[in-house]
Chain A
Amino acid sequence: MSLVTAKNLSKTYITGEVGVEALKGLDFEIEPASFISFVGPSGSGKTTLLNLIGCLDKATEGELIVAGKRVSDLDRRQGADFRGSALGFIFQSFNLLPVLTAYENVEYPLVMIKNESKATRTEMVLKVLESVGMLDQKDKFPDQLSGGQKQRVAVARALVTQPKLVLADEPTANLDHATAKNVIQLMRAMRDEFGTTFVFSTHDPRVMHEAEVIHTLEDGRLTHTEQGSDRRGNHD
């Protein structure tokens, strides 16, 4: 069974009296534990699509089922609960909380969303920080970390709640090529280690082919789907 199913998915933004169609009738499926990218130029609808999958926004038309939930049926509170339990997010600008250390940033969803005990939190946070190679930097605040380190912490934060799906919107846009490639490889390694599905958007041709499946978006339409250079089997 697919983790994400989209049927005739459309999104129109109304600005004043003008409607802008950001997504036009998308149909696709995402399998569990896959490593998927949505690519396309700026304004092609990548972020809008990830926002819909991430329950941050609602489709104008069509059907979207994520982890067995029809996300258009969820109200504000249910949406928050669903995001906290089933989804993880990685942002282009890392979006770490500046007043919390790396450890505390990763711990945040377990405290504020999952209400885990202190012992469980410590075990989970240390495990995931070790997996992303940031254990030795755990006591540093975000402004003491490099861009690549921040994104590693962001990956750890997205994974610590053991979500079914992690959505990463342009996760490498603010990183140099080497670091960007490292972050993508880290995400893929995490997929391999935890079995979590990763969906990321990018317009960077240097990293887009790191995905197993590449969906190309142009003007809100899904124009092309291809297999990436690094298919899951290649890493087993």
Chain B
Amino acid sequence: MINIFKIAARNLLRYKRRTLLTSLLITVGVVMVILFSGLSGSFKQMMIGLITDATLAQMQIHKKGYVSSIDTSPLNLNLGPKAYGKVRDMLEKNPLVESYSPRIKLGAMLSNYKETTNIRLNAIKPDSEIKVCPALPDRITFRDRESGQGLINPGEIIIPDKLAKGLKIKQGDTVVLVAHNKEGSVNGLNFTVAGVIESVAGPQGKEGYIHIKDARDLLRIDKPEVTEVAIRTRDFNRIDMLYAEINSALAEYKNPKGNPMFEIHTWEALSPFYNIARMIDLMAMSMKIIMIAIVLISILNVMMMSVYERIREIGTIAAIGTAPGKIMGLFLAEGFSLGLISTLFANAIGVGAIYILNIHKITFSFGRTENLLLSPSVNFNELIWVSAIVLLVSIFATIQPAYKASKMEPVDALRHV
């Protein structure tokens, strides 16, 4: 076997320029795939992280029908104390659930005493919310806030940065929130601006935050109702399993009409970024298909040329007794070696390029989110997967020329001029 590869390597070096060009072509194709996967994968992970760790959370449970009318923030679709109790008990028992956080979502009017505008708010329990969205504090700019003071206290509001800029509201200012409760009566409360939150793309990306107790006061909710329960799993890769388990458990609860009482959605169903993520995956797949085509055509071309140019040699080795299978093996080894050398080069260059990209920090804007720092990473599973594709395609592309070589009649091949 070693000798077969030694002969294959010598034959590749025999046509140095052709081998170099083909190898270069394959290398460029593979490097493109590695770079694209590294960059797009990093972008995707960052955005998913932003969505799940800093805004939406990984999953949300609502009263049935809430998500379809989410734009109006309907308070009449809140979960009552009993319903929330059932959800809480079920989540407490599931070992895959790391944490959960109840939220009240509401729309209100925000006034700085000079101007008034609409604002959408998340009313949260700060301790629970930080466990579900651990990256949420990273989006918030606090002023004069000491550690240990918590994310938000009763009487405080965190305002979206665009809104703060538009109304010229600074941290420490007092603002008024006016909201309708579900019966239609209006109530208003004063709040101190504790911080400004950076806007991000997607739902809940431009919403303010208040304490859940304040929301109940503002909306005059006597009972501990919640709009949604945000959930974080212990293992993000097992989110589908957790979804299935919770969905199955929730399905047991029916309303008086016999319809399901709850609905559960993962971030994929709640965020439009999921479609972008799918498009990125599709583009990555397209890159791989282009790479496969490059490898297939270039190696097939080189090996066909190689067989055609060496017909007399094939006749000679066949005449002196080389079995057809070994002749085929010689050419397969040649195609495989070409693919192997190219993919090794490409992996080295691709990893090096990603390392360089990480040194020179790349920042970009996405939607209303600015200064996103891209940290492309090498996914070693992806490297192995891409390398395996190249090697398999190399062998596949060589089969036909190698088979042709092995089937040559030595007497005809020796006559070839």
Contacts and interface: CB of A to CB of B under 8 A. Distances in A.
A113 B322 contact: yes
A109 B326 CA distance: 12
A82 B409 CA distance: 15
A170 to B, nearest CB: 12
Interface stretch (A29-37, A96-104, A190-198): A96-104
Nearest to A76: B324
Interface stretch (A85-93, A125-133, A178-186, A227-235): A85-93
B407 to A, nearest CB: 9
A224 interface: no
Contacts of B7: 97, 99-100
A112 B319 CA distance: 13
A57 interface: yes
Contacts of B409: 56
B190 to A, nearest CB: 88
Contacts of A87: 321
A109 B414 contact: no
A81 B320 CA distance: 9
B414 A83 contact: no
Interface string B296-331: 000000000000000011001111111110100000
B3 A112 contact: yes
A84 interface: yes
B3 A81 contact: no
A110 to B, nearest CB: 10
A89 B410 CA distance: 12
Given A56-B414, A97-B316, A80 B324 contact: yes
B411 interface: yes
B323 A80 contact: yes
B234 interface: no
Contacts of A109: 320-321
A46 interface: no
B10 interface: yes
A148 interface: no
B7 to A, nearest CB: 7
A111 B6 CA distance: 12
Contact of A84 (B4, B312, B322): B322
B321 A97 contact: no
Given A91-B316, A95-B312, A112-B326, A80 B411 contact: no
Nearest to A109: B320
A147 to B, nearest CB: 17
A82 B14 CA distance: 31
B324 to A, nearest CB: 7
Contact of A85 (B3, B321, B410, B411): B321
B14 A98 contact: yes
A220 interface: no
A83 B11 CA distance: 25
B3 to A, nearest CB: 5
A40 interface: no
Interface in B1-49: 3-4, 7, 10-11, 13-14
B321 A91 contact: no
A97 B3 CA distance: 14
A98 B4 CA distance: 15
Given A91-B414, A113-B322, 7 more contacts: A51-B411, A54-B319, A56-B319, A56-B414, A99-B10, A99-B13, A157-B320
Interface of A: 51, 54, 56-57, 76-77, 80-85, 87-89, 91, 93, 95, 97-100, 108-109, 111-113, 157-158, 161
5 contacts: A83-B320, A89-B320, A95-B312, A112-B326, A157-B320
